[in-house]
Chains A and B, each alone.
Chain A
């Protein structure tokens, strides 16, 4: 069964700073990776996906994937207080089961 671990558990960054979130997965056959964000009391929302090794940039968000080292990361540039939320890495297995990581709680301090 796929195991998805995230670090750090929580992260505090100043407004305008860079937040870096990490995720490792266990199944070497994994192909499809997502980052989701969940604000308190709401359902998660997809931030971005990455399928190929390397970097993918969408606005202030950059995802990085290294399948050989079983690692995916998310970097948030110019962090805003509205970015404060729970962030989850998620990996599809067998196309119909999406495994979520343990989550990183990001707090952006004004």
Chain B
């Protein structure tokens, strides 16, 4: 069975500090990978997607970047956090395009 693990579970960071969030997918080779952001109780906004290792496409510009260094790993990062970056970050995978998304349990980020 496939599993998705996100880390860390929660972060409290200062404005202007760097950030790195990650997720790992086990049990599925060459999955499509996605990053989503969610304000508390709000909708889910897709940030990035990746179809293959080393290739990442941006969907919205939020002063964030993403990388896929390995087939099973997806990293979200920024060098300088803003207050507006606070929220719930979710990593997801799908077997291929336009199929069911399987989400991780998320990272709660608070920027002070």
- B interface bracket (residues with beta carbon within 8 Å of A): 20 to 34
Query: Residues of A contacting B102 with CB < 8 Å?
Result: 46
In the complex, the answer to whether A44 meets B43 with C-beta atoms within 8 Å is: no
In the complex, the answer to whether B49 meets A96 with C-beta atoms within 8 Å is: yes
The number of A-B residue pairs with CB atoms under 8 Å apart is: 53
- Is A97 interfacial (CB-CB < 8 Å)? yes
- Is A102 interfacial (CB-CB < 8 Å)? yes
Beyond A43-B90, A43-B92, A43-B105, whether A100 also contacts B100 by CB under 8 A is no
Among the listed B46, B51, B103, which residue makes an inter-chain contact with A99, where contact means beta carbons less than 8 Å apart? Answer: B46
Beta-carbon contacts of A72-110 to B below 8 Å, as 1s and 0s?
000000000000001010101001111111110100000
Which of A96, A102, A103 has the most C-beta atoms of chain B within 10 angstroms of its own C-beta?
A: A96
Q: Which of B27-47 contact A (CB under 8 A)?
A: 32, 34, 41-46
Beyond A49-B100, A96-B32, A96-B97, whether A42 also contacts B46 by CB under 8 A is no
In the complex, the answer to whether A103 meets B43 with C-beta atoms within 8 Å is: yes
Nearest chain B residue, comparing its CB with the CB of A86: B41
Among the listed B43, B57, B100, B105, which residue makes an inter-chain contact with A42, where contact means beta carbons less than 8 Å apart? Answer: B105
Could you write out 5 A-B pairs with CB less than 8 Å apart?
Answer: A43-B90, A44-B90, A88-B43, A97-B46, A103-B42
